[in-house]
Amino acid sequence: MKFWSRLVELFSTQEHPRALAFFRIALGLCGVYTIATVMLHGVVDDVWMDVAHGGYRTLKRGNFLVEWLGGTSPKMVWGMSIAALVTAILVTIGAGGRFMVFAYLWTFTAATDFNSQASGSYDELLSAAVFLLLLTPATRTLSVDCRLRTGAWRDDTPVYAFPRWMAVFQLVLVYWATGMQKLSFYWVPGGEWSALYYIMQQPSWQRADMSWVAYLYPLTQAATGLTWFWEIGAPFLLLAFYFRRNPQGRGPRRFGHRLRKLFNFIDFRTIFAAIGVGLHLGIWAVMEVGPFSWVSLAYYICLFSPDEMARGRRWLGKRIPALASRGDAH
């Protein structure tokens, strides 16, 4: 009963809705980017249509929603693509509440599932995040819904915190599973650590010619090792969250106390996030991986509580004018 009471207390925790609102906006923009990119490049017919309608391959049956609406006909493909784009925009601006989040989830999933060869794991990652929005009122603040309901753009009424924590767990699971799949001689310690170098030489991933990376081969080895250790170490994020929530908790007398003190002193989350942002922006800069970097970084919003975001904003508000005045003085 004590465990159950603690579990109920944990999942009853509430917080300011700003973090959820930022997460919603980021996920909506990722959907807009995904769908709009295909449309603006004029390849909807090429990659999402069956060969009978101008596509490059014979497509399998779509999901049940697509089949229920008539299959992958040109009208269906374009209609679902437009619906996914519109619902993504409406979720971004926060109009329509849970119903619009639900519509976004289904239309986006259907559109990106037309052709498995033209999709990626980032589509599933985005869909999983949008599902989490259904568990809480994502349009509580910074939304059109809020404006219509209260007459203001902001509403400080708390929301449940557990969907944000579940997003962190999803992020940890993705990184850890990815690291565990990289158990080859090219990734792990004792091997060549040459994986990133070879990846950057594959034309299918390159934004431009990357032969010059040969001159920086030792740096690519260091980046390979850092990436692997960083992904394998993702579960430590869960430990960091636990220590933050229970700064004076029980445990093994010495080891537990010292580990808790260390994690709270260095703030493992900030270090992990800084490395992750650098890696994802680096991937985006030199490789063509679709919306992968932006979908992954959207999850990072959930690493910090709304109160921590507010403190960070106040800190920046003091720092930036001070730095600016110092620059003017020089």
**pLDDT of amino acid 304:** 93
Print pLDDT tens along the chain (330 aa).
Answer: 677 888 888 889 999 999 999 999 999 999 999 999 999 999 998 888 888 888 888 887 767 777 777 777 888 889 999 999 999 999 999 999 999 999 999 999 998 888 888 888 899 999 999 999 999 999 999 999 999 999 999 999 999 999 999 999 999 999 999 999 998 999 998 899 999 999 999 998 889 999 999 999 999 999 999 999 999 999 999 999 988 887 776 544 555 778 888 888 888 999 999 999 999 999 999 999 889 999 999 999 999 999 989 888 887 787 777 655 665 555
Cβ neighbours around 204 below 10 Å, total: 7
Enumerate the H helices of 57-119 as residue ranges: 64-68, 74-93, 97-112
**pLDDT of amino acid 322:** 61
- Cα–Cα distance measured from residue 241 to residue 234, given in angstroms and rounded to the nearest whole number: 12
**pLDDT of amino acid 254:** 58
**pLDDT of amino acid 50:** 83
Which tokens hold the place of 84? 């996914």
* CB neighbour list of residue 45: distance below 8 Å, 6 or more residues apart: 53, 54, 55, 74, 77
Which tokens hold the place of 109? 């999933």
- Cα–Cα distance measured from residue 330 to residue 326, given in angstroms and rounded to the nearest whole number: 7
The C-alpha angle 119, 67, 44, rounded to 5 degrees, equals 40
Helix (H) or strand (E) holding 160: strand 159-160
| Confidence (pTM) | 0.91
- Cα–Cα distance measured from residue 186 to residue 184, given in angstroms and rounded to the nearest whole number: 5
The C-alpha angle 134, 137, 141, rounded to 5 degrees, equals 135
**pLDDT of amino acid 149:** 95
